[in-house]
Amino acid sequence: METIVGTNISKVKEILEQNLLAAIPTETVYGLAANALKPEAVVKIFEAKNRPQFNPLIVHCKSWASAMDYTQDVPTIAHQLAEHFSPGAITFLLPKKNTIPDIVTAGSDLVAIRIPNHPMALALLSQLDFPLAAPSANPFGYISPTSATHVLDSLGGKIEYILDGGNAQIGLESTIVGFDERENVLLHRVGGVAIEDIEQVIGKKVIFAQPNPDKPQSSGQLKSHYAPHTDLLIGDIVALYQQFSDKKIGLMSLSDSYPQLNFAHHLLLSPSGDLAEAAQNLFSFLRQLDEWNIDIILVERLPNEGLGRAINDRLNRAQAIYK
């Protein structure tokens, strides 16, 4: 199959109405979308991504109000968060109605709901009479795509269409939150909305959800994920440089240029030290480093605050496979 890259929203609507796949832009990362209400469409997502079916998908809706067609018993605190952050980089785990097929939630009673904040995604969703199941548009385990080219590089030939909405503005997957019966917010994945901002709205601390290793709930909770093919190590750059002095090193750092050291390639995530800019660049820089012919990727750990926390989380998982 030849994959078309373009901006024709009506064409994408037609493709999705035929239960076929299209990649769509969002403000976090590109998604691989299918009609969330049709199991025969959704199963194609798992095939194209090589994704295990125990791993549930996020359902993207055109508005928070329309999400109520697919959910029930929504806690007050979820409404409160949605008012502040939706459309946006936050995904809500909510009790599902029967309209959502089991394949979307991997049999769970909870469905993940997100309203993406991207004009093309919202225009498309508002023209459809169904929501879109969409995981990140990358092969399972690899780095998430933040541009149409990234999607084409790894899924070209496997999907009908890539809707090109430019570079993702946030560049990190959504923050995933669940709720308990006491109106606490349970954090399942750090992401594009910072914990500090959520805590400010709810007026209390979030609770870090404990991953269950036997039943991975979020692929973001799997140890090895978001990983380049080249070995990646995080830590003290000067010490690592000495340890690997015989190797061809690619360095990714926030803003420090290490003028005393000599790297084959060196990318600065944000020369001014801005974590939002660093998040925007993160995945495309990892892909770039993976393409260069180097032996090892060294990465500086970022400040563990705001988006820095989600960036460090992705870097830790990118590294885990080699440990």
Nearest CA among 234, 232, 267 for reference residue 253: 267
Query: Between 108 and 137, how does the x/- string for binding to Mg ion read (CB under 5 A)?
Result: ----------------------------x-
Nearest CA among 54, 57, 31, 28 for reference residue 42: 57
Comparison of 26 and 71: residue with beta carbon closer to ligand TXA: 26
Task: Check residue 108 for interaction with ligand TXA (CB under 6 A).
Answer: yes
Comparison of 105 and 136: residue with beta carbon closer to Mg ion: 136
For the chain, what percentages of helix, strand and coil (3-state, to nearest 5) are there?
Answer: 30, 20, 50
Comparison of 141 and 303: residue with beta carbon closer to Mg ion: 141
Rule CB under 6 A: which of 205-264 touch ligand TXA?
Answer: 217-220
- The span from the CA of 130 to the CA of 132, in Å, is 7
Query: Between 45 and 84, how does the x/- string for binding to ligand TXA read (CB under 6 A)?
Result: ----------xxxx--------------------------
In the complex, minimum distance from the CB of residue 220 to Mg ion, in angstroms, rounded to a whole number: 7
What residue type is 9 in one-letter code? Answer: I
- The span from the CA of 156 to the CA of 104, in Å, is 23
Task: Check residue 174 for interaction with Mg ion (CB under 5 A).
Answer: no
Comparison of 174 and 253: residue with beta carbon closer to ligand TXA: 174
Rule CB under 6 A: which of 158-177 touch ligand TXA?
Answer: 173-174, 176
Torsion of CA 185, 195, 318, 157, to 10 degrees: 80
Task: Check residue 112 for interaction with ligand TXA (CB under 6 A).
Answer: yes
Q: Are 116 and 27 in contact (CB under 8 A)?
A: yes
In the complex, minimum distance from the CB of residue 136 to ligand TXA, in angstroms, rounded to a whole number: 4
Backbone region of residue 113 per phi and psi (left: phi > 0; alpha: psi in -120 to 50; beta: other values):
beta
In the complex, minimum distance from the CB of residue 135 to Mg ion, in angstroms, rounded to a whole number: 5
Intra-chain end-to-end CA distance of the chain, in Å? 38
The residues binding ligand TXA (CB under 6 A) are: 26, 28-29, 31, 55-58, 91, 93, 105, 108, 110-112, 114, 116, 134-136, 173-174, 176, 217-220
